[in-house]
Structure 1
Amino acid sequence: MNYTLHQLQVFLKITQTQSITKAAEELHLSQPAVSIQLRNLQNQFEIPLTELVGRRLYITDFGKEIAIAAEKILNEVYAINHKTLAYKGQVTGRLKISAVSTGKYIVPYLLADFLKLHQGIELVLDVTNKAKVVETLEQNEVDFSLVSVLPDKPQVEQEPLMENKLFLVANGEVDVKGKAFNMQIFETLPMIYREGGSGTRFITERFIQSHNLPVRKKLELTSNEAVKQAVIAGLGYSIMPLIGIKNELQQGDLQIIPVEGFPIKSQWSLVWPKNKSFSLPASSFLDYIKKEKERIVQEKFGWINKY
């Protein structure tokens, strides 16, 4: 057997994504390069690792066994690398974080300087919706999660970071200058929603229900970016987190509609399961956030106070 660590890494990613195309994207390789690595690995086994049915790739039972072994081997290699760096006095290991989708506008700034200080840390970051973030917490798959709404389950501890403000927004062509609206405005507006399971959707629905607002839902879209483009195109209005529309507000593509009772407020927090045992990278990151969060928020997000 002459398989390489790179071949194992590529094959493991193929089994995780069930796709050569997706594996190539996540590994930042070309599709032909991934196919070559898979073929070279397959040539060392008499039993098929994968099979193609129609256009869909399937992992054989034997391939699944090899993937399990490959993951163990790669984890051992990571451990060796981390131990080597640890003997040099560096904080090493994996730091796993999940973040709700709108958190992508925040989490890079929380991590940038920390990772520069500790170059031996390997970051695993998953940006997804609120429901999946809660699932990663429940399964203890991550060290921390960035959320704008605290989950009911599991029980978590938190480090508050900054205020989350949500406003009713329209495209830049709507004439609202000098006007102020009460909540009855929602009777006439075609509203664009985030998908079920998102934190923005949860906050929006909680506000609407608590004020018994008569809302007309026109569209439901699966990302903050999709909602922004739909509003800019004039397809409707939406309640959106301020953190994700800075550029569009400055460029005049979007505008805030002044409505009584707004903005809706929640809080961005870093959370983790109660009584969680931290790895060295995780405890170092939490210490860093506690010391540096006020500086980061002021430097990177001070503009929020203008709204």
Structure 2
Amino acid sequence: MRLTLHQLRLLLAVSREGSVTRAAQRLHLTQPTLSAQLRQLAEQVGLPLYERIGRRLHLTAAGAAVVDTAARLELEFAQLDETLAGLRGDAGGRLRLAVVSTAETFIPRLLGEFRRARPAVEVSLVVLNRDAVLRRLADNLDELYIMSRPPGAPVVSATPFLSNPLVVIAGAGHPLAGRRAIPPAALAAEEFVLREPGSGTRQAAEAFFAAHGV
């Protein structure tokens, strides 16, 4: 059995995205092309690599084994790249960041300041929802992660550096608009536009409502 690093990265992307469609978009491939390459990979392995349950893809035992190896190889290649850069005397290095979408409001300014201070450092950035960032954290793919609440597992070193208040917004003509203090119960009958499941903003809102019995 001869598997290429490219093939392993395809399944790794599907695992992280939970969808062939989203993985194809991330890899800049068409969905039929990615599906065909995944079928070829499964044929080479000789076992099914994933199955559909509901709307999500779930790895089989064989798929999980392939993804685990792919993640370790990806990390080792990144470490090799950094080691070789050090041996060549490159002063730059690499900084990989994965941030939740809320960070889009301030991360460009911070990265701009960092680049001015460290112009030789190669910076890569991915912006995802909380669940996707946590998957990257579990796979140890980046040096730095920015999110609103650090996870309970795996154990990480977290440093708060910005407040992230959440507020309820309504039109000027809404009955609650203009009130300075609104009890949570007053929101029970209201309709909301919320982020998608897996978003930290949505989780924070749901936790707030649950804590107040709304």
For Structure 1 versus Structure 2, the TM-score category normalised by the shorter chain is: 0.5 to 0.7
Identify the residue that residue 210 of structure 2 maps to in structure 1: none
Instruction: Name the SS for the 1:122 alignment partner.
Output: strand
Instruction: Name the SS for the 2:14 alignment partner.
Output: helix
In structure 2, which of residues 184, 194, 208 is the aligned counterpart of residue 222 of structure 1?
Answer: 194
Paired AA for residue 49 in structure 1: L
- 1:31 CA drift (Å): 0.8
Q: TM-score if structure 1 supplies the norm length?
A: 0.45
Indicate conservation of the 8 Å contact 1:90/1:120, yes or no. no
Q: TM-score if structure 2 supplies the norm length?
A: 0.61
- 1:158 CA drift (Å): 4.3
- For structure 1, the 5+ residue unaligned runs are 175-185, 192-206, 225-307
Identify the residue that residue 92 of structure 2 maps to in structure 1: 91
Percent identity, aligned pairs only, is: 24
Q: CA separation of 1:155/1:23 partners in 2, compared to 1, >3 Å: closer, same or farther?
A: closer
Identify the residue that residue 3 of structure 1 maps to in structure 2: 3
Following the alignment from structure 2 to structure 1, what is the Cα–Cα distance between the partners of residues 9 and 56?
A: 21
Indicate conservation of the 8 Å contact 1:49/1:62, yes or no. yes
Identify the residue that residue 264 of structure 1 maps to in structure 2: none
Indicate conservation of the 8 Å contact 1:107/1:146, yes or no. no
Following the alignment from structure 2 to structure 1, what is the Cα–Cα distance between the partners of residues 61 and 166?
A: 49
Following the alignment from structure 2 to structure 1, what is the Cα–Cα distance between the partners of residues 56 and 160?
A: 43
Which structure has more strand as a fraction of its residues? 1
Instruction: Name the SS for the 2:47 alignment partner.
Output: coil
- 1:10 CA drift (Å): 0.8
Indicate conservation of the 8 Å contact 1:82/1:120, yes or no. no
Identify the residue that residue 106 of structure 1 maps to in structure 2: 106
For residues 106-143 of structure 1, the C-alpha deviation after alignment (integer angstroms, 9 at most, x for no partner) is: 212322463582453333444549xx99xx7xxxx873
Higher relative contact order by CA 8 Å / sep ≥ 6: 1 or 2? Answer: 1
Following the alignment from structure 2 to structure 1, what is the Cα–Cα distance between the partners of residues 85 and 62?
A: 35
Q: CA separation of 1:46/1:112 partners in 2, compared to 1, >3 Å: closer, same or farther?
A: same
**Where in structure 2 are the equivalents of 1:1-307 lying within 5 Å?**
1-51=1-51, 57-86=57-86, 87-99=88-100, 101-112=101-112, 114=114, 117-128=119-130, 143-145=144-146, 157-159=159-161, 170=171, 188-189=175-176, 208=181, 215-216=186-187, 218-223=190-195
Following the alignment from structure 1 to structure 2, what is the Cα–Cα distance between the partners of residues 20 and 75?
A: 23
Indicate conservation of the 8 Å contact 1:92/1:122, yes or no. no
Paired AA for residue 22 in structure 1: R
Q: CA separation of 1:213/1:127 partners in 2, compared to 1, >3 Å: closer, same or farther?
A: closer
Q: CA separation of 1:76/1:102 partners in 2, compared to 1, >3 Å: closer, same or farther?
A: closer
Q: CA separation of 1:62/1:157 partners in 2, compared to 1, >3 Å: closer, same or farther?
A: closer
- 1:34 CA drift (Å): 1.4
Instruction: Name the SS for the 2:80 alignment partner.
Output: helix
Instruction: Name the SS for the 1:90 alignment partner.
Output: coil
Following the alignment from structure 1 to structure 2, what is the Cα–Cα distance between the partners of residues 142 and 80?
A: 15
Instruction: Name the SS for the 1:40 alignment partner.
Output: helix
Identify the residue that residue 208 of structure 2 maps to in structure 1: none
Identify the residue that residue 201 of structure 2 maps to in structure 1: none
Following the alignment from structure 2 to structure 1, what is the Cα–Cα distance between the partners of residues 30 and 123?
A: 26
- For structure 2, the 5+ residue unaligned runs are 197-214
Instruction: Name the SS for the 2:109 alignment partner.
Output: helix
Indicate conservation of the 8 Å contact 1:190/1:218, yes or no. no
Which protein shows a greater Rg?
1
Following the alignment from structure 1 to structure 2, what is the Cα–Cα distance between the partners of residues 74 and 8?
A: 9
